[in-house]
Amino acid sequence: MELYSALRTLLAVSLLNLAVLSSARAGPTMTQSNVMAEVTFQSGRAHANPFMEVTLDVEFKDPNGSIKKVPAFWSGGSIWKVRYASPIVGVHRYRSLCSDPTDRGLDGITGAIEVEPYNGSNPLYKHGQLRIAADQRHFEHSDGAPFFWLADTWWKGLTKRLTWDGFQELTADRAKKGFTAVQIVCGPYPDELPFQPMWENEGGLPYETRDFTVVNPHYFDYADRRFAHLVESGIVPVIVGGWGRGDCDAMRMAGLAGIKRHWRNLVARYWAYPTVWIIGGESGGPEWTQVGLMIRAIDPCDRPISIHPGQSGRLSVTDERALNFDMLQTGHGDMTAGKGAIPQLKAAVDRKPPMPALIGEFCYEGHMQSAYQDVERYVFWASMLSGAAGLTYGAAGVWHASVEGDPGVQDAPGVHRIYDLTTWKEGMAYPGSTEIGLGKRLLETLPWSRFVPHPEWAEPESFAAGIPGETRVVFQPRRGVYNWNGTIVTGIEPGVPYHAFYFDPVRGKEFDAGSFMRVDPESTSVFRHSLHIEFEDRFDAASNGNWKDAGTPTSRSDGKLIAHKGALTVLPEITVADATASVEANSDAEAGIVLRYHDPNNYVVALYSPEFHAIYIHDRRDGQWGAQLGKVEVHDLSPHFTLTATICGEYAIMQLRDGDRTFATPSVPIANPSKGSAGLWLYQIGDHQAFADFRLSDAGGKLTRPVIVSDTYRAPDLPSPQDWVLVIQKAKGN
C-alpha cells in the first residue's frame, strides 16, 4: 500500500493533475486548456464489488452552456475518479450521477473545474484533442491544426518486460524521430495465453477473473503513468482494447459484457488524454461492432475510432457507425508484400462515403529477418502520396517488447511460435524508423494535408500527389543500377514559375534541381522574332558576301541554300549574344541553326536529326559535342518544316513547326556566354539540305528562367541511382 500511495503521488505530479476530495464546499480544481484534470469522489457506503455494482457518471457544463456526460472509474477502496479536459477557458461546473442514489459520497456531488489558457509548447495541449477533419481524409486537432499520423507499434508496451526506464528511452527515441502516435494494447495481448505472468505490468494483471468482473486498479495506475508520459512527450496513445484472433480471442474469453465493461473503464480513464481508440486487434464481426457503437456513445469527444482488422477495418464491422476512420492490416513479408499493400490502401481511400484511411500494420522492419528500410520507405511514401491519412510503422523486437531471454511471445501448443529474437533495443535502432521520420519532416514543410493523389503526374511504378499550381511531390523508387535518368512529371500547368529539388529519403538531404516554367509554344515570345531584324536572306541571289563557309561549300539555287555533309556556313560580320534565328528546311536531312559561333570547335547548334527522329541542342566546346540537350522526339514529319532557335543569357531553346504541329525542346543551360556569329549547319545525315528564308533578330523573348513547352517536365539527372523524392513548388514571390 505504501508503494501504491507513492505511485499515486508521482502520477499526480506527472499528469499535472490536482486531485481533490470533492464536496459542495470545495473550491474549483485548476487546470489549463486541453490538460487533463482529475476530481476524486469517496463512496459514502460499502460496496462488495464497486466495479460491478456501481456506475458513476459526471455531468459537466462548460462556460458556453454545453453539457458533457463523462464516465467515472473506480480507483480502488472507496475512491472513484473522474477525468476532464476542455479547450474552453473558464469555469466548468459538474454534478455527479450515481446508479446508487443512496450513496451520498457519489451521488449529487457538485463542484467546478477552472480552465486557464495553456502556456506550454506541447502540441497536443496547444492544439487540443484529435478529430476527423472536415474533408474526411485526414486528422486534425480541435483548433483545426492538421495532425500527421506517424505511429509506431508497441502492442505489448505496458508489460513489465519493457521497464519504466526502457519505456522512457523508447519514447524519447520515437519523439526525436518525429513519431506522433503509438499503438499500444491495454487488455488481452496477441500471441499470449491469457492471465499468464508475462501479461502483467508492475501492478499485476488488469483483471482477476476471465470475465472481467473483478478489476485490478493497480494495473491501470501503472498504465496511467506510461500513457501520461507519451502525452507529455507529444505522442498520442492509440489504445487497443484487446485482441480478437482465434488463439487469443478476448471476446471469447471475457464475453461481450466483459469487453464492454473493460472499454467503459478505458474510456473513463483515458478520454481526457488526447487519445485514439482501436476497438480490438485483428477483430471484427457483430459483437466487436457493438463494442464500437458503445464506445462512440459514451466517449465525451467524437474522437477518432477504428478497428485493427485482418483486412480493411470498415469491411470488418457490420455497422460503419462504429468507426470513423479505416485502418488496414495488409500482411507481412518483404518488398512484394510492401508493394501489395498499396492497392489495398487505394481501395480503402476510394470507398464511399469518404473516411480517413491508413495502414495500421504492414511489414514490420526486420520481422523474421525481412522487410528492411527500403520496404519501410516505399510503403511510407507510396501511402502518403496515395491519399493515406498517415502510416503506422513497426519493428521486430519493439512490437512485442522483447528482451534477452524473453521474446514476448509464448511458444505453447495452439500459440504462434517465436517470430523474432530481436530485442526492443535492437529493433529501436533499425534505420527505417529514422528514414520515414525524415519523410514526415519534409512533408510537414509542405501543405501536405491538402494534397490530393495524382498518379497521372508520375511515371509507372512512381507515386505523386499535391496541389495543382502550387506543390507537387513525386516518389520515384529505385529503378535499378546505372540509371540516372531524371524524374518525369506530367500535367504541368502553363504560366506557373516552379522551383524543384530532389530529396534523399535515406539521408534527408536536398539537392537543388533548378527552376522552370511551362510556356505555350504557340504564343510565347521566345519563338517569335523581335521588331529589329538583324539579318534576313531568302537565298534568291546568285551569291551573298555575308556568308562564309567554314565547312564543305554551299551553293544557291531557286531560293534555296544547298548544303552537303560537313557544311557549316556562318555570318562573320554579325556578332550577337541574345538572338532568335529561323529557317525553313526539309525533313530528309539534318538541319541546324548555329548561334554564338566562335570557331569550328566552339558554338551552339539547335538541330533536327532524321536519324534520331528528334530535335535537340549541342553546346559544342573545344571540339566536343557533349550531350543531346533537351532532346524531344519528332515523328512522321511532312517534307518541309520551319526551325526556330533562341539563345538568351545562359539558356537556349528550339522549336520545329510542321504544318499544324509544333514540337519544342525545353530551355537548356549552355556554357557559351559570349557574343558570336550565326549560321547554318549539316553534319552528316542526308545527301543534302535545302535551306530557305533565313531570318535573324534580337531575342524575341527573354529566358530569365528555364522553360518547358509541353506539360511534361523532365528533372535533371538523379544525384545517384536510388529512391528519390522530387518536390516541385511554386517559386516564392510569384
Shared domain check, 465 and 427: no
Collapsed DSSP state (helix, strand, coil) of residue 245: coil
Q: Which residues pair with 11 in a beta bridge?
A: none
Shared domain check, 643 and 596: yes
What does the pLDDT read at residue 410?
A: 81
DSSP state of 365: B
Shared domain check, 269 and 211: yes
> Does residue 404 form part of some domain?
yes
> Does residue 270 form part of some domain?
yes
Shared domain check, 154 and 219: yes
> Which amino acid belongs to residue 728?
I
| 8 A C-beta contact, residue 308 and residue 283 | yes
Q: What is the DSSP string of 115-134?
A: EEPP-S--HHHHH-SEEE-T
Give pLDDT < 70 ranges for the chain. Answer: 1-26, 411-416, 542-543, 734
| 8 A C-beta contact, residue 109 and residue 24 | yes
Burial 314-347 (b: 16+ CB within 10 A, else e): bbbbeebebbbbbbbbbbbbbbebbbebbebbbe
Q: Taking Cα atoms as reference points, which of 285, 325, 329, 327 lies closest to residue 305? A: 325
Residue 173 parent element (H or E):
helix 164-177
Among residues 59, 92, 116, the one where a domain terminates is: 116
Shared domain check, 445 and 301: yes
Among residues 93, 116, 139, the one where a domain terminates is: 116
> Does residue 5 form part of some domain?
no
The number of folded domains in the chain is: 4
> Does residue 3 form part of some domain?
no
Q: Give me the CATH number covering residue 330.
A: 3.20.20.80
What does the pLDDT read at residue 20?
A: 35
What does the pLDDT read at residue 18?
A: 36
Shared domain check, 392 and 507: no
Count, residues in the chain: 734
Please compute Rg for the chain using Cα positions: 35
Shared domain check, 302 and 191: yes
Neighbours of 459 (CB within 10 A): 16
What does the pLDDT read at residue 415?
A: 62
Collapsed DSSP state (helix, strand, coil) of residue 169: helix
- Residues 371-418: pLDDT tens digits? 999 999 999 999 999 999 999 999 999 999 999 999 998 866 666 688
Q: Give me the CATH number covering residue 628.
A: 2.60.120.560
> Does residue 1 form part of some domain?
no
What does the pLDDT read at residue 532?
A: 86
Collapsed DSSP state (helix, strand, coil) of residue 370: coil
> Does residue 304 form part of some domain?
yes
Q: Which residues pair with 51 in a beta bridge?
A: none
Helix locations, 311-410, DSSP H = 313-316, 335-350, 373-384
Neighbours of 445 (CB within 10 A): 9
Among residues 116, 135, 165, the one where a domain terminates is: 116
- Residues 498-538: pLDDT tens digits? 999 999 999 999 999 989 999 887 778 888 898 889 999 99
> Does residue 153 form part of some domain?
yes
Shared domain check, 98 and 143: no
Shared domain check, 441 and 318: yes
Domain that holds residue 487: 455-515+718-730
Q: What is the DSSP string of 281-335?
A: ET--SHHHHHHHHHHHHH-SS---EEEE-SSBHHHH-S-GGG-SSEEEE---SSH
| 8 A C-beta contact, residue 103 and residue 42 | no
Write phi, then psi, for 228 (nearest 5 degrees).
-65, -40
> Does residue 2 form part of some domain?
no
pTM of the predicted model as reported, rounded to 2 decimal places: 0.88
Q: Give me the CATH number covering residue 84.
A: 2.60.40.10
What does the pLDDT read at residue 312?
A: 85
Shared domain check, 540 and 489: no
C-alpha cell at 358: 491508413
Shared domain check, 142 and 277: yes
What does the pLDDT read at residue 19?
A: 36
Shared domain check, 460 and 446: no
Sequence-ordered list of residues with C-beta below 8 angstroms from that of 9, at least 6 positions apart, any chain: none
